[in-house]
Structure 1
Amino acid sequence: MTPILRIVLFINFVNALSLIALILNIYHYGKHFGLSDFQTSFLFAIYALSQFIAAPIIGKLSDRFGRKPLLIISLAGTVIANLVVGTASNSIVLFAARFLDGITGGNISVAQAIITDITKPQERARAFGLFGASLGIGFIVGPLISYFTTQISLGAPFLASSLFATIALILTIWTLPETLKEPAPRTDRIFDWDLMKKMLSGFSIPGVGALLMVTFLTGTTFGMFTFGFQAYFLKVLDRDLPSFDLLFFSFGVFGALMQTKGIKLLTKKFSATQIMFMGLFFRGACFILMPVIPNVIYFVMVSLIFSIFNSLIQPMISNLISLNSKPSEQGMTAGLNAAYLSISTGLGPVIAALLVDKNTIETAERVARQTGSAVSMQSYASYGYPLYVAGICAFGVLLLAIRTQRQYNRFNV
């Protein structure tokens, strides 16, 4: 493993810490500021919308001006945004910080472009597997950091993420060389309509558009999962936050093992396209099975199977996108992929919040407070709806990926 790849993997690890801090704590953090479930879902959405606009622009700028300067800007935004979230005094500041994090959120797309710069096509599946594994390691370390830092304050996990982002920023400034060998041709305008058209019509890009659609739809289902999963685990199964942290810790362990060892073994027998299909199938099945039986042991077992196969999807999509992109457009297409993934992941929680029977839950909780009784499990049953719908949609994504494979499956890798 080269020193450059190590730095890139650490940057992705930092991204994972920021993501896990959000997933594990934003529900309770939003409640701390008096936000409803639906309002809390917009903390995902505002980040997603701003990153959707910014990530392709940052990716294109990195094609022209180099990876390093744009990565520095993106990491600086992560440092500041997490610091502001961790010290926020009201919900307005909280939303503003999430917007800042999104508008400078080009870390992933630029990091993926660096991987493309430094690897040969036949090596990229493994490199992107390691890239995904660094995210998995973040899912191992993140829950542990969250568990210990929340003993200090609700905002402490975000401050810890800011600290790690600061370390990544320093490493980037002092040790990361520029990897872009051939800058894209200079144009009169960076923020031109051609880029906006590609953002709005990225699904029609030859060889890449179908993969971007798969990214968008898988991101939407994952966003629905992140909202429904936590509420279902805490409310329906009546578990506590330490148990939730422990479950996510297990996700990280299984996901990292799959991406470091499993992908290496799978690529010897299957193509990247086949591995992606496998991940999509098991993701859909697990989403549907999770809420079938309201038992914590059953739920954990299905969730662990999900974590294993879910870890296959994005590395394979990133690999296929890089293989179908021109050398001068690697940053731009990686940026589009990150943008579609971001906005769809933010859209998912909003859709999930609309599926939940808010009135029944609020009425049951109000009666429980007045009478001093416990809320029945049945009152929280609608928290399982997002998981069912996410599963059905995941199978739809699989069918789409199979039907469009001729557009992107030009490489037997």
Structure 2
Amino acid sequence: MDSASTVRSSRHTAAFAFIFVTVMVDMLAFGIIIPVLPHLIVQLSGGSLAQAAVWVGAISTTFMLMQFIFSPVQGTLSDRFGRRTVILISSFGLGVDFIVIALAPTVWLLFVGRVVSGICAASFSTANAYIADIVPKEKRAASYGALGAAFAIGFITGPALGGLLGHISIRLPFWVAAALSLINFCYGYFVLPESLPLERRSKRFDWRHANPFGALVLLRRYPQVFALATVYFMITLAQFSLNSTYVLYADYRYGWGPEAVGGTLALVGLCTGVVQAGLVRRLMPKLGERRMIMLGIPLAVAGYLVFGFAPVGWMFLLGIPLLALGGLAGPPSQALMTHQVDPHEQGRLQGALTSLASLAGIFGPALFANLFGLFISDHAPMHLPGIAFVLAALLLAIATVIAAYAIRHLHPVHAAEKQPPASLHGDFPTVADVVTHDSLPTHHSESSP
């Protein structure tokens, strides 16, 4: 291999590694604050758990509203100007935002912090588009599974570390999160290459595509994607039952404080990492993307039902591996959607999907948090603290039916379509290769950037 090919290989490996590290560090930063943010809200608002649940729902809704608005903007910007700048600006913005939250003396200033977080966290869609730029279609499910593993690694250490730091000071986790985000920005500034060459970028920035509703129109142009996106929306909506009620639910029902919550969330991350980094890659060649989807969603239904009805803590823990196995459905469904969309619209696709997730987040946290508050209050129609998880299971049961219909009408990806993007000929390592330390390819064609 000549020196030019060696340089290209090193740059691509570094790029894969950076996207993996970016997602992992961002998730670590977010994970650190999970065990302490609701308790900080309780402290600043001076209210009961039921009142704090309303505040948690409102702040979470604000965060997701910003993602809903800005995800298609970032996706369209990255299609027009490239992925690198968008990712770096977002990493820097997250670092500044965590500093604001660490200093916040009132709940209202937390709202300001979550506005900035929502805008910057929209870069997750750009990271997904980066993967679609450089990974051949047949390897994308494994690569998205590896990104899921990055989430899991951050989730394993983040909440556990946040619980320990929160025991020292309730604001210390936010300072650590800020440092992680700013270090990640510096790392990416010197390492990350651009994935989208000039000839494959959109010719102009179109505000019709950059607004959230215009971005969702893209999904209607691809009927198969629209059906799978509906399933994606319902899965995401169900997940907000955990985001908005888990900490308060565990405190109320099992008496778990920040350290116990951090430990159980670390277990969630460990199980998710095993599934995403190990099982997805091994089961995909045997089962295929469609069977993986139909296996994963019912397992998630079972996991949510265990969460909702478990009377004691050790029984609740039995639902964690079931919910982690439900993650088998995520990477193949995301890969199937990228198969159907043109290369120059991958950023818009990921922006539209993130907008869907944000749309779920606009009313999902308030829905689940207020249901939790209602069903533990004196005015509850029945005492059911796990009502949020029961509703999540019902949503996924409906999603299973829609997924079965959508998959039945999907067109297969032909062999000719399973080639790397035009500017990335050759055998490149996937993110999963970087994660598992598999041997990297030693040859690249001269057309590689």
1:303 has 2:305 as partner: no
- The TM-score, its normalising length taken from structure 1, stands at 0.89
Pick from 4, 8, 12: which aligns with 2:23?
12
Establish whether residue 47 from structure 1 lines up as the match of residue 63 from structure 2.
Answer: yes
Number of the residue aligned with 2:347: 331
Tell me which amino acid in the other structure corresponds to 1:399: V
Secondary structure of residue in 2 paired with 1:247: helix
Q: How does 1:67-78 map to 2 (within 5 A)?
A: 67-78=83-94
Q: Following superposition of structure 1 onto structure 2, how do residues 368-379 of structure 1 map, counting pairs within 5 Å?
A: none
Provide the C-alpha distance between the structure 2 equivalents of 1:120 and 1:84, rounded to a whole number of angstroms.
Answer: 40
Q: 1:360 to 1:58 in 2, by over 3 A?
A: closer
Residue 172 (structure 2) aligned to one of 156, 181, 189: 156
Q: Deviations over 1:41-94 (max 9, x none)?
A: 111111101111101110111111011111112112211111111221111211
Tell me whether 314-323 or 213-222 shows the greater mean CA deviation: 314-323
Q: Which residue of 2 aligns with 1:93?
A: 109
Structure 2: 5+ residue stretches without partners: 1-11, 419-449
Distance 1:117 1:293 in 2: 44
Q: Partners in 2 of 1:193 and 1:268 — Cα distance? A: 36
Paired AA for residue 32 in structure 1: Q
Query: Secondary structure of the residue that 2:203 maps to in structure 1?
Result: coil
**Which structure 1 residue ranges, 5 or more long, are not aligned?**
365-377
Task: Give 1:285's aligned residue.
Answer: 302
Residue 328 of structure 2: aligned partner: 312
In the alignment, is the contact (CA less than 8 A) between 2:300 and 2:327 conserved in 1?
A: no
Amino acid at match of 1:142: G
Give the match for residue 386 of structure 2: 384
User: What CA distance in whole angstroms lies between the structure 1 residues aligned with 2:346 and 2:209?
Assistant: 19
One-letter identity of the residue aligned with 2:250:
F
Tell me the TM-score normalized by structure 2. 0.82
Contact 2:68 2:356 (8 Å CA) reproduced:
yes
The answer to whether the 8 A contact 1:64-1:183 is kept is no
Q: Which moves more between the two structures, 12-21 or 85-94?
A: 12-21
After alignment, is 280-289 or 312-321 more displaced? Answer: 312-321
CA contact (8 A) 2:376 2:385 kept: no
Counterpart in the other structure of 2:268: 251
2:56 is matched by which residue type in structure 1? T
Aligned residue in 2 for 1:62: 78
1:218 aligns with 2:218: no
Q: Distance in 1 between matches of 2:209 and 2:270?
A: 43
Residues 158 and 327 from structure 1, CA distance in 2 versus in 1: closer, same or farther, beyond 3 angstroms?
same
Q: How many residues in Structure 1 have an aligned counterpart in Structure 2?
A: 397
Q: 2:193 aligns with which of 177, 185, 188?
A: 177
The equivalent of 2:413 in structure 1 is: 411
- State how far apart, in whole Å, the 1-side matches of 2:33 and 2:42 are: 13
- In structure 1, what is the Cα distance between the partners aligned to 2:320 and 2:375? 28
Conserved? CA contact 2:145–2:276, under 8 Å: yes
Determine if contact 2:166/2:258 at 8 Å carries over to the other structure.
Answer: no
| Alpha-carbon distance change, 194 to 117 in structure 1, aligned in 2, over 3 angstroms | closer
Instruction: Report 1:91-170 matches (<5 A).
Output: 91-170=107-186
- Offset at 1:343? 3.1
My pick for the range that moved more, 145-154 or 351-360, is 351-360
CA shift, 1:195, in A, is 4.7
Cα distance in 2 for residues equivalent to 1:409 and 1:345? 31
1:28 is aligned to 2:39 = yes
Q: Which moved more, 1:316-325 or 1:110-119?
A: 316-325
Amino acid corresponding to residue 164 of structure 1 in structure 2: L
Equivalent position SS for 1:185: coil
Do the aligned partners of 1:74 and 1:105 also contact (CA within 8 Å) in 2?
Answer: yes
Question: In the aligned structure 1, how far is the partner of 2:179 from the partner of 2:330?
Answer: 27
- Letter of the 2:364 partner, please give it: G
Q: Which amino acid aligns with 1:240?
A: G
Partners of 2:278 and 2:376 in 1: how far apart? 46
Deviation at 1:360, TM superposition (A): 5.5
Give how far 1:144 is off. Answer: 2.5
What is the letter of the counterpart of residue 412 of structure 2? R
3-state SS of 1:150 partner: helix
Q: Which residue of 1 aligns with 2:432?
A: none
CA distance in 1: counterparts of 2:112 and 2:295, whole angstroms: 39
Distance apart, 1:350 and its partner CA: 0.8
Aligned-pair identity in percent equals 22
